Amino acid sequence: MTETITLGMPTKAASAAEYNVVGDTGFEAPENRAKGAGLSGVAEADVTREQRIEQMRAGELGSVHSWELVTAVDGPGTRMTVFMAGCPLRCLYCHNPDTLKMKDGEPVLATELLRKIKRYRSVFKASNGGITLSGGEVLMQPRFAAKLLRGAKEMGISTCIDTSGFLGASCTDQMLDDIDLVLLDVKSGDEETYKKVTGRALQPTIDFGDRLAAAGKEIWIRFVVVPGLTDSVENVENVANIVARWSTVSRVEVLPFHQMGRDKWANLGMKYELNEVDPPSKETVERVREQFRSKGLEVY
């Protein structure tokens, strides 16, 4: 079952002067937005520019790309996955490049989104599911994410975040207390390859994984096998060694690279560097899985 719902735009168009502001971790809210149909009840608050900035800083207002109801994809059971807008990484194989910029998301109040989440409590309970905050990168908007996680926990709903861990330092101890599961994307096992893949450094992800393990938080690892980029025996071995040090890892998902996001890059006028890269062979994917299994990890 997959139900995809694109979040509605504000019911009243706003000027660029009102929306071009900086709030939570450099959040630039959408500008020059026209009216649009979609998720009901997401109305623009009648506040001043200064009040809007304060809403962002307080985590009351966030930039969201979309949300969907999925089963057995972003954590256990049926999940409501909320895709935040904005990401500090520029992964060469990103299949959702339309989530990279915060200003391209929709302004949504945490109270409104929690009201939507509340509707699915019975579904979550029956399926042992919950909410997953994804992106983009959820930790680009830590205060907004914290509001959603706290609200969900107060309703007795299981919580999960899907993150690269690069901004793990933005996750407060209180926020961590409200997270039940972390889907941690480890994109490479050495600094050189990680920078080539993402444009950023690997160490923050390792630091966040160390912190999660120390806190006893369950971790599911995700690793994408990209031929000629992340699939070398040495790189996979490095990733496996990093992951094996985290005692709370209960699952490793080895994900074959695909080209399903290529058209999005073209539509956005962005250069896509992996046009000529084919998906990995079944033999390569199984070899990668065996490298993780050799460390005593549960692999899918």
Q: What are the sequence ranges of the domains in the chain?
A: 64-293
Which fold would CATH assign to domain 64-293?
TIM Barrel (3.20.20)
> Taking Cα atoms as reference points, which of 22, 23, 24 lies closest to residue 170?
24
- Residue 46: what pLDDT? 52
Q: Calculate helix-pair angle for 233-244, 203-214, nearest 10 degrees.
A: 30
pLDDT tens digits for 188-200?
999 999 999 999 9
pTM summary value: 0.85
The predicted structure's pLDDT at residue 215: 98
Determine the Cα–Cα distance for residues 117 and 121; give it in Å rounded to an integer.
7
Give per-residue pLDDT as tens, 170-218: 999 999 999 999 999 999 999 999 999 999 999 999 999 999 999 999 9
Q: With bands split at pLDDT 50, 70 and 90, how would you rate the model's confidence at 33? A: very low
The pLDDT-based confidence of 52 (bands split at 50, 70, 90) is: confident
Average pLDDT over residues 19-45: 33
Q: pLDDT tens digit string along 241-255?
A: 999 999 999 999 999
Segment 131-166, tens digit of pLDDT: 999 999 999 999 999 999 999 999 999 999 999 999
* Contacts by 28-33, CB closer than 8 A, 24 or more apart: 28/101, 28/102, 28/103, 29/56, 29/61, 29/63, 29/102, 29/103, 29/107, 30/63, 30/103, 30/104, 30/105, 30/106, 30/107, 31/103, 33/9, 33/106
pLDDT at 54: 87
- 277 pLDDT more than 90: yes
